[in-house]
A and B are shown apart, each in its own frame.
Chain A
């Protein structure tokens, strides 16, 4: 090849190379995705961005690898070993795969939510309204969305601090391009969780004015955060922070907590916007509907909830004899907490966990005067018991539940059969008769706060602040009346001391809010977690003699483990490695 050819070839190569670089052949063509500029320059897109924040509200039903937070308490156990809490929290292994999701995802999800809000707050004021939105509507929406977003950020952060203790407050978006060391230096764990709670409360206070008033929410907007949501959440937080576990922070007194609950009751309660869901008869259904009926269908009890679409039936959560996988199985301890329908307590003494005091072999002393009998344990109980628990003999879906040994719902060799002798009824569609089939759907909205809780918050706070006052009894009485237990609590002689009423309130709170994700937090703030969660999980064995006679024998369904470090979650190990923080005590 001559020089000329070489030059021509080289020139050709260079041309091709530059042509490649310049050609658009490899450019990414538009797809369904957006850039941040496209979001923040469009009012519609910004609203869409805001909408997504609601999706960070987590549904607690069977959330932890097919198990519930309440299955990690003394209220219930999962029938299946595959359910998350059973092989993780319940044997003391917080790092196990089943429970790990709760430890890792909670951290990651809420911090994602917090970033979402931070970005929104940084951009919302400069988003152009465009032509389709008028100035006035736009400005109103801007201020409302800002308030809701701040509410969410505070709520997410509150949920984080409950679990992980003192953690960095991130109130502006982190620039991922900044050097890691700068970010690590900036975000440290505060010395005390007090700093975190103060921030949460100041945010919740500040966002109040911008939120929609509850009475102004249109039907199609139901599900949005309102002023009432904000007040109710603050009432709950004050109650928690006044409780023994947080008392030393010195943030709120019991009276503060009582006042906060009272503020909600006065502003929005007592029928002003929220009230207990009532029927004049049929008390079991009244309690069921208070939880199951949708807000759009007229349920005025629900204050803060995740407004989900209809989901499939619960094959995972139903008795095996109906084609289910067992799922959430209530404990004997929960069953023991229900009073008799006549308003008396079936057992002689209760402790601060709300449960009767068990002797060494796990048996409580019966209060014979109540009419309760260990051989007919399910007769004449609180209607909420019948609405919450499927027990031996309960009529459900056109037949009686049979959990006797070898019975339809407790057959031999079935690893999914109930370990406790009970199945869950709460949240179930009661009207069916067929076998279970996940292709059928029902509404299962997840409630964060309902009016009943506010009343319980009030009763607890006022009793702690002032002793067994009429207000305390009145709040509790409303809940009992709703299920037809109208005998006057204030007349019960065993409830006239502050400490007796305290235990009673703990018990009422537990049964009223069973499986609504309260128990885990309540026993911690009451500082009775090691008593409540460390004791064995009790169940019942039902045996049927050939003549049909039933025998009920209490049993230990699972031994449980509780260590003091379980008061808080461990901060995810990887996060500790990354940040160099020290983990929570004991972890």
Chain B
């Protein structure tokens, strides 16, 4: 009988936590055992045997016994291992050999946000990336993304986003489907995208199958959303009091008598009968239209697994988000509800077939069905303008009731669009968006030609159809004229007419994308030399409706070399062209070079390994391009061609004798080409004391040249619009700091992180006319800089008496308590020529986030604060000003310059100038330093508490994991806006930004 040896030990994960249920097998036998709840095991084996250790979700290990009896075995998490690999342009790289500036985010981090919208969920999680959400409307709440601020004024500054290698919309992808995100920031990382890489690139990779038994993961969550800000409009009584004050300030007749005021006071107190209240209404339009909260649910199930031959990841997602509007239609059909709703159905199947031992075929199917429905109102997805919120912010609450006692909806000629009536009777819309995305990828190893060579080819076909149906009806509103007889229909002026609901048409669009790439990869380690190479051809054909296809074509090349894991060098290049430019001007070569030095692998630091985990410095320089030119959100294409346009009926003579017209639309710029970015990056990565601390720092500088911009120095008397030229130059400088701390005290495992990004840009040139005075120039100032009047406080009576004030052209006469402005050009007039650079830009210079994570036994707690600084905000008039266009008045306006008080009192206390009615307030109601707001804020972006049931318990129910969590987004915000609007939003007539609380469970089988 062979001699046996009693071995024992513990199986742990990388963090040192015992892994229960891991299997320990003696190699080549049926002898084996599972670990207990703490990960301990005991087993008798032959002294010369090998132990095979495996556990679900971990990479299996084999250890020779060699007579040893006690083992501490660390298994590495498969997910974490994946994180050791970084997705880069057209490939992957080992994290340690990366020499570009790349930020990554894994699935786990992403899922800590309760937001099912990916563009929102990444907020604060990636150094160098800033997101701003403009609207919280269901299904239309994508955030804009800026990588390292902005550097161009030609386009949108939005990065190129690729999902599985193809340019795709990503915000509505099921969060559980995402394996990783890589944000490519410097030229070293983005050069391969050439003419499209200048604003940075985001690579999103969806999950793929792994060789394991199928793991089913099920997530159920339910959410409650509510606006982060409350409206602060005054009630009817206070409003009319201030209204009369404004009228009397302007020398106009007061609209309300003392008796009226008394009635309004009673109305506010709820002391009026219904028939009196309709004469003295006190309508809170927000209350009438909005619910306090809106629910949402998300369900996701996915299966990941595979065999040697076939690996698969498939998922199903359902997300249902409701809007804030009340259902005022009394309709039983959900699609006819006046509330808005968004539903997302997602399906995905990512398959990998090992066709031969050297051939792998990958197939991705991603399908999404998005359904939006809501009231028949205007909701502009570009400007974020929302008709309902416009009306809520504009319709006074003291003029007419929502409905008179006889059922008539209230209104007047200015406010014919009673929004309650519109929601109840004005109709609804429903739209569907079907997105089909497919990838076919073929990998063939070509070791028979030369070792390490492989071929990769991909073709993708995406198809998106959008269908929008709208039903609408006119509706009447009524203004009570004869107030003594509200019961008689003759006492009213009627506006518009009640109509039957009719089909008001549909919009249908289809988008088709054909993309393909094929190329060769080469990877070879020869001794201490590691060499990789890539050459790849790609072409992109994007068709929207019957528009001219948008096309790109190019070749990508990369060579990397590493010696002894100490020195790394990389050369990347994109050679590609855009159909936007003329032959000979359309292809550009975009090279980048980068070097890295892993100092910690040097012999002179080998001895420091007890405290120094890793230390790397890297530097890169490269050039990338941008071919996009947008004006007011519209892509302007083909600047190089003449465009003489048709006009089917430009004029007519006689009676209906129509004539076709032709006009010279654009004088071409034949030499137009892409914008070029020269990017420098210097990086430093370090880790200390076994991940106790890590510090990464990146410094960057970018020079953009050839920015497409219109010829601002060409006089209008040329009489033709000249296509934009490559005239602009900017620079963008800054740094990123990322600090992490990870420690374990007993069973408490905790992490803390801090990210800070500073990016400041400056326009160096933009063809400004030579005569433009310095105080109005854009050159020398950031993109998006605000321009306005410089306010020097309030005008006092002595200012007026001394007659030294520059004459305001905004009003016939200024009074004490109005704003005093600086006469910038000294011409004695205050007018639009006195605006100058004020405040900051619309995109913050500083962004930061701080996060803490705690794990104790099964409990986990995470929170993240996010904030921005050095940014300005200016909101729509009705958010800032009183009685604009005869409109409303807010709480802040109570702190106005009060003419019934002394000037000294007002100078000390007034926070708002003298009240005026309607356009009499034009002098004060301007974009000036007085009303330009600081947009800085700090907010508790995410907070999450989770509990994972003990494995022993879950295993009993044949689950591998069960986790419950409650998390919240945007729970608290600190800012300088005094409750005006959510600081992330840049306008006030948008659907509000929401905070949400989410309860969920995730179970894995």
Instruction: Give A contacts to B, CB under 8 Å.
Output: 1-2, 5, 9, 12-13, 16-17, 20-21, 23, 25-29, 31-36, 38-39, 45, 48-49, 51-52, 54-55, 80-82, 86-87, 91-96, 100, 104, 107-108, 111-116, 118-119, 167-168, 170, 173-174, 176, 180, 183-184, 187, 218-224, 294, 296, 307, 309, 320-321, 323-326, 406-408, 411-417, 435, 437, 559-561, 572-580
Given A28-B579, A176-B714, A411-B479, A49-B663 contact (CB < 8 Å): yes
**Nearest B residue (CB) for A324:** B413
Give chain A residues whose Cβ lies under 8 Å from the Cβ of B656.
309
Say how far A17's CB is from chain B's closest CB, in angstroms.
6
For A90, the closest partner residue in chain B by CB is B812
Q: How far is the CB of A35 from chain B (nearest CB, A)?
A: 5
B832 neighbours in A (Cβ, 8 Å): 93, 95-96, 100
Assess whether A296 is in contact with B655, with CB atoms less than 8 Å apart: yes
A81 CB contacts on chain B under 8 angstroms: 885-886, 918-919, 922
Does B746 touch A at the CB level, under 8 Å?
Answer: no
Please report the C-alpha to C-alpha distance between residue A45 and residue B649 in the assembled complex, in whole angstroms: 14
One of A1, A100, A173 near B450 (C-beta < 8 A): A1
Is B579 a contact of A26 with CB atoms below 8 Å?
A: yes
Residue of B whose beta carbon sits closest to that of A105: B716
Residue contact B809 to A575, C-beta cutoff 8 Å: no
A576 to B776, CA, bound (A): 14
* Chain A residues with CB under 8 A of B771: 576-580
- Chain B residues in the interface with A (C-beta under 8 A): 255, 396, 398-399, 412-414, 416, 449-450, 479, 481, 483, 493-497, 520, 522, 524, 531, 533, 535, 537, 539, 548-549, 551-555, 557, 575-579, 583, 586-587, 638, 641-647, 649-657, 659-665, 667, 712-720, 722, 768-772, 807, 809-813, 831-833, 885-886, 918-919, 922
Instruction: Establish whether residues A411 and B481, one from each chain, have CB atoms under 8 Å apart when the complex forms.
Output: yes
Please tell me which one of the listed residues B413, B575, B720, B772 contacts residue A326 in the complex, with CB atoms under 8 A apart: B413
Question: What's the Cα separation between A578 and B832 when bound, in Å?
Answer: 18
Q: Considering only CB atoms, which chain B residue lies closest to A296 in the complex?
A: B655
- Residues from chain B with Cβ under 8 Å of A91 in the complex: 809-812, 922
Give me 6 other A-B pairs in contact (C-beta within 8 A), A1-B522, A26-B577 excluded: A17-B575, A55-B650, A176-B718, A187-B715, A414-B413, A575-B715
Q: How far is the CB of A211 from chain B (nearest CB, A)?
A: 15
A561 touches B663 (CB 8 A): no
Decide: B922 and A87 in contact? CB cutoff 8 A.
yes
Q: How far is the CA of A222 from the CA of B652 in the complex (A)?
A: 9
Find B579's partner among A27, A224, A321 (CB 8 Å cutoff).
A27
Please determine whether A86 and B663 come into contact, CB atoms closer than 8 angstroms: no
Given that A111-B719, A416-B413 are known contacts, is A222 also in contact with B577, CB under 8 Å in the complex?
Answer: no
What is the CA–CA distance of A572 and B809 in the complex, to the nearest angstrom? 17
A49 touching B652, Cβ below 8 Å: no
Contacts of A21 in B (CB 8 A): 577, 583, 587
Chain A to chain B contacts (Cβ below 8 Å), 27 pairs: A1-B524, A5-B449, A9-B520, A26-B553, A28-B638, A31-B548, A32-B645, A36-B664, A48-B650, A48-B661, A87-B922, A93-B809, A118-B719, A174-B720, A183-B718, A187-B715, A223-B651, A307-B653, A320-B414, A323-B416, A325-B414, A406-B481, A411-B481, A413-B396, A415-B886, A578-B770, A578-B771
Q: Which chain B residues border A294 with CB–CB below 8 Å?
A: 655
Q: Which of B644, B667, B722, B919 contacts A38 (CB 8 A)?
A: B644
Contact B575 A20 (CB under 8 A): yes
B717 touches A575 (CB 8 A): yes
> How many A-B residue contacts, CB cutoff 8 Å?
293
Please, which residue of chain A has its CB at the minimum distance from the CB of B666?
A33
Inter-chain contact A55/B769, CB cutoff 8 Å: no
Neighbour of B654 across the interface among A52, A114, A221, CB < 8 A? A221
User: What residues of B have a CB within 8 angstroms of the CB of A26 in the complex?
Assistant: 551-553, 577-579, 586
The interface centre, meaning the residue of B416, B449, B493 with most chain A CB atoms within 10 A of its CB, is B493
Question: Which residues of A are found within 8 Å of B520, using beta-carbon distances?
Answer: 9
Cβ-closest chain B residue relative to A178: B718
Per the bound structure, the CA–CA distance linking A168 and B716 in Å amounts to: 12
Question: Which of A33, A82, A92, A437 is the one whose CB lies under 8 Å from B812?
Answer: A92
Instruction: Kindly identify which residue among A25, A87, A111, A321 contacts B716, using a CB–CB cutoff of 8 Å.
Output: A111
Minimum Cβ distance to chain A for residue B234 (Å):
15
> What is the CA–CA distance of A413 and B264 in the complex, to the nearest angstrom?
14
Q: From the candidates B576, B587, B646, name the one contacting A34 in the complex (CB within 8 A).
A: B646
The residue of chain A having its C-beta at the shortest distance from the C-beta of B497 within the complex is A435
List, in ascending order, chain B residues with CB within 8 A of A307's CB: 651-654
Is there contact, CB below 8 Å, between A578 and B715?
yes
Residues A36 and B644 in contact, CB atoms below 8 Å apart: yes
Q: Which residues of B contact A575 (CB under 8 A)?
A: 715-717
Q: Most chain-B Cβ atoms within 10 A of its Cβ — which of A45, A51, A168? A: A51
Q: In the docked arrangement, what's the CA distance between A21 and B584, Å?
A: 8
Q: Are A39 and B644 in contact (CB under 8 A)?
A: yes
Instruction: Check B579–A180 contact: CB distance below 8 A.
Output: no
Contact of A174 with B414 in the complex, beta carbons under 8 Å: no
| Alpha-carbon distance between A68 and B663 when the two chains are bound, in angstroms | 27
B residues near A82, Cβ cutoff 8 Å: 885
Cβ distance B415 to chain A, nearest Cβ, rounded Å: 9
Q: How many angstroms between the C-alpha atoms of A580 and B520 in the bound complex?
A: 59
Please give the distance in Å from A170's CB to the nearest CB on chain B.
Answer: 6
Pick the contact of A86: B398, B481, B651, B919 (CB < 8 A).
Answer: B919
A93 touches B641 (CB 8 A): no
Given A20-B577, A325-B413, A576-B771, A9:B479 Cβ within 8 A: no
> Which residues from A are CB-within-8-Å of B412?
320, 411, 413-414, 416
Instruction: List the B side residues contacting A54 at CB < 8 Å.
Output: 650-651, 659
Residues of chain B within 8 A of A39, CB atoms compared: 644, 662
The residue from A17, A95, A408 contacting B493, defined by CB atoms under 8 A apart = A408
Q: Are A220 and B653 in contact (CB under 8 A)?
A: yes
Please indicate the chain B residues that have their CB under 8 angstroms from the CB of A17 in the complex: 555, 575
Contact across chains for A223 and B496 when beta carbons are under 8 A apart: no
Q: Is the CB of A45 within 8 A of B555?
A: no
Closest B residue to A560 by CB, please name it: B812
Q: How far is the CB of B826 from chain A (nearest CB, A)?
A: 14
Cross-chain contact of A573 among B576, B663, B833 (Cβ < 8 A): B833
- Is there contact, CB below 8 Å, between A27 and B831? no
Q: CA A408 – CA B490 in complex, angstroms? A: 11
Once the chains bind, are B653 and A52 in contact (CB under 8 Å)?
A: no
Given contacts A26-B586, A96-B832, A323-B416, contact A559 B720 (CB under 8 A): no
B712 surroundings in chain A (CB, below 8 A): 574, 578
Chain A residues in 8 Å Cβ range of B522: 1
Q: How far is the CB of B733 from chain A (nearest CB, A)?
A: 29
Which of chain A's residues has its CB closest to B722's CB? A176
Pairwise interchain contact A174-B719, C-beta atoms closer than 8 A: yes
Q: Are B831 and A559 in contact (CB under 8 A)?
A: no
Point out the residues of chain B lying under 8 angstroms from A416, CB to CB.
412-414, 886
